[in-house]
């Protein structure tokens, strides 16, 4: 074997070993949460109906909780709460302290739930916080209050649902008081770890303790509606399908 061939063989072997080593060192992908995977395939409306039936109370947030940056998402809730405060008690640090901590410690795929008590004219998230949430890999943000810097957040492709869009800041008006606690968001109680299901129809909260029951019921509802569609199309009427499937 010539010297040139020896060199070429060594280079090929080295490349092969490097490639093998790279494959061996690849981290295994994180296990998929079956609840999140399951709810991701259901409709928001079916989840709302399933919560009604299984939990016995509403899980859907108020009608004005709308997508300001569109995107369907499912994830576990991380919470933060703001309350109105005197200007001297609502400086730049205090006004967003717990919201920032919530985002900065969030795991990928989690959903931020920010509640601004009586704060529809106050933005709970803007471009900077949105950038941090996106960098953390959060699935989305839900705000009982306002959002600002919408064009910046839209450019991040971070789904955000809120009750209003306003240019204001919480600084000098509201102060964060806690995170990681149970909050009342747009008419629904949200505890850390609850499942948040959001889409064009709105936002639904699924209590984590009964999430599997709710998922199974939502899947049953989706399956029943799928069977109803061809019957309605064939009969060109809805009444008989409703009577047969007991579903509207």
pLDDT-derived band at 7 (thresholds 50, 70, 90) equals very low
Separation of alpha carbons 124 and 162, rounded Å: 9
Q: 239 or 14: which carries more pLDDT confidence?
A: 239
pLDDT tens-place string over residues 24-57: 445 555 678 999 999 999 999 999 999 999 999 9
Separation of alpha carbons 116 and 95, rounded Å: 11
Separation of alpha carbons 140 and 43, rounded Å: 17
What is residue 70's predicted lDDT score, i.e. its pLDDT? Answer: 96
In the chain, the domains with their CATH numbers are 34-209 (3.50.30.40), 215-245 (no CATH)
The answer to whether the Cα torsion of 189, 143, 192, 223 is positive or negative is positive
Q: Give 125's strand partners.
A: 147
Separation of alpha carbons 53 and 48, rounded Å: 9
Query: What's the pTM?
Result: 0.83
The mean pLDDT value of the chain amounts to: 87
* Spatial contact of 157 and 65, defined as CB atoms under 8 Å apart: no
Q: What is the 8-class DSSP label of residue 26?
A: P
Identify the three-state secondary structure at position 244. Answer: helix
Give the residue among 113, 235, 123 at the shortest CA–CA distance from 184. 113
Separation of alpha carbons 209 and 211, rounded Å: 6
- φ, ψ (nearest 5 deg) of residue 153: -65, -35
Give the residue among 144, 106, 101 at the shortest CA–CA distance from 122. 144
């Amino acid at each position: 074997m010539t010297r040139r061939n020896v060199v070429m063989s060594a280079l090929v072997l080295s490349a092969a070993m490097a490639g093998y080593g790279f494959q061996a060192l690849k981290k295994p992908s994180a296990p998929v949460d079956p609840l999140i995977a399951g709810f991701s395939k259901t409709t928001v409306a079916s989840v709302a109906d399933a919560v009604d039936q299984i939990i016995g109370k509403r899980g859907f947030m108020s009608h004005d909780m709308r997508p300001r940056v569109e995107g369907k998402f499912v994830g576990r809730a991380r919470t933060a709460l703001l309350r109105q405060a005197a200007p001297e008690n609502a400086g730049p640090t205090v006004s967003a302290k717990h919201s920032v901590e919530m985002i900065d410690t969030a795991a990928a795929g989690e959903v931020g739930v920010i509640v601004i008590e009586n704060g529809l004219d106050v933005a709970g998230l803007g471009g900077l916080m949105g950038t941090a949430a996106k960098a953390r890999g959060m699935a989305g943000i839900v705000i009982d209050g306002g959002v600002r810097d919408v064009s910046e957040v839209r450019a991040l492709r971070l789904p955000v649902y809120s009750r209003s869009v306003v240019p204001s800041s919480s600084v000098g008006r509201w102060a964060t008081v806690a995170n990681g606690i149970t909050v009342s968001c747009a008419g629904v109680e949200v505890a850390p770890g609850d499942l948040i299901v959001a889409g064009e129809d709105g936002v639904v909260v699924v209590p984590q303790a009964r999430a599997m029951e709710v998922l199974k019921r939502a899947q049953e509802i989706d399956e029943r509606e799928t069977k109803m569609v061809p019957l309605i199309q064939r009969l060109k009427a809805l009444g008989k399908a409703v009577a047969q499937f007991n579903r509207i």
